Chain A
Amino acid sequence: MKLKKNFDGLDFLQNNLVPLMFIIICAVCIPLSGFSASYLINEIVTRMGRNIFLILSLLIPIMAGMGLNFGMTLGAMAGQVALIFVTDWQIWGIPGVVLAMILSVPVSVLLGLLCGKLMNMAKGREMILGYMMNYFVTGLYQLVVLYFMASIIPIRHASIRLPRGFGIRTTVNLANMRQCLDNEFAILYKGVKIPVLNFIIIGVMCLIIVWFRRTKLGQDMRAVGQDMEVAQAAGINVDRTRIISIIISTVFAGFGQIIYLQNIGNFPTYTAHSQIGMFCIAALLVGGASVEKASIGNVFLGVILFHTMFIVAPRAGVAITGDAMIGEYFRVFVSYGVITLALVMYEIKKRRARSQGGELLAQAQRARREGGAQS
């Protein structure tokens, strides 16, 4: 009985190494940081409201076996392009947010299509391709926003143009849109502001994902994700299914970025998207997801743990070493480290599978010989 429990414990430890590590880091750092409970909870709730949607966009490509969608940044850029237009047209508040979301869709679909097609050309290397696509499309984004906008693409308001006459300023101000979703139906409870509308949107999104898993398309994606050849043989259009999954992810990432930025209230035009993919992926992995398996539960747990660490690390770093920078670097290191660890574990697991066959054969031979000796 005891032995069995022990064994289970080890298994549990192995499967949940990353979340457990994070719980320990948080448990150590929270007292050191000296933040009050209400401040901490308020921060975490706010960050949940603005981040979860973005992270949810990662789930569908994982389901389709395409791994962590490092290309989600493409959607973020689409969202930013849409926000620039909406800002220029001075449509504010919730209508502005909705319009931005609608505008982002065609751009996201186009980028997602491109990304999906390329990923089909590089099967087995989707993640590194998505990662490189970030940088490649960042170049295109800069070309459009920095040189084409206000020169080829009409931008009416001088306030968002660069002084030289074309291109967009390095910061886009969303003051009139700031937290319009967060504040709608918001509840203030013991110093913690709960952005109810945000959570409703997230809830709806979760329901959509749960529902989506039960659709034919969802089923096809799961099949494609597990074995492309079998799926193909059963008549499922594998390439098309994969492209659709990337397009969906990109579109949702675009929405997610708009939700994220309306909370912040402004964004650095040329860098707002650059770190978003990394943080979202790290958070998802911290929640216990892996390259091939992720659930909504992973998303929520991951956001809470990752952001707790993110908030407390700099202060805890000061308390331990006396240097604020160390905490800053530490949290970056942890985010990268978690992704590295998850990737390594995934790759090792993929290769472990065999290696037991030989043992079985030797055993069988022994058993046969003993059986022969007895009879």
Chain B
Amino acid sequence: MYTYPGIETEETQDIILPAAPHIQIKDLNVHIEGKHILKNINLDIPNNSVTSIIGPSGCGKTTLLKTLNRLMDDSKNVAVSGSVLVNGEDIYAKDAEVTHIRKKMGLLSQRPFPLPMSIFDNIAYGPRIHGERNKKVLAEIVETQLKNVGLWDEVKDRLDSSATGLSIGQQQRLCLARGLAVQPEIILGDESTSALDPISTQTIENLLIELKKDYTIVLVTHILRQARRVSDYILFVYNGEIVEFGKTEDVLLYPKNEITQQYVKGFIS
């Protein structure tokens, strides 16, 4: 069942509870190959805002992000306990249906990975999978989403050419549009600008700030300046544990914890 702009279905109606946070993480523990990667994570991620996860490399921030849309399940030897509630629904419940969960969350990975098909098909891929066959509707979705990420004018004449011909910055925007086309509620970004040039980085950052009106955004980043520029909240993770969580300026300017202070000042990286 696919929904496109302007048409509401049962699926979208019964889940919006404005006050409650979109994502609630309760007692989350993740073991990978016997190693304790995430320890007792408890967290409410605020709605319609950008939350950045920061921390030294290897601290578990990417694992935390991938736990949110169950991409960790796909790797071997991963044990997850605890629960992640999205709109009150536990995505780690036994009867939870994975594709439906993942559809709610767009993922923007480190490097852009356009699917091996044309620009048009890249965007139409998601809607088609979820059952949309109408060509006119598909064309509409493609246009809307490409406009959303400011790519329409650049590619509208070559929608049928391969997506790999785009520049890397364009590719990343295409990937964002592709994610938006399945009507997610949440956008997850995994160091999404680390492969991009400064100008493309800025474009993506501005897009994310704009998108937070409609989406809940969670980013992993190792660039403090980027975290400061785009995020409303910051989560500092160290050794698999949450050390500090709060408003951006609170965490970055007046960190309460000593480790956070050292990280923010650049003593730990």
**A and B: partners?**
no
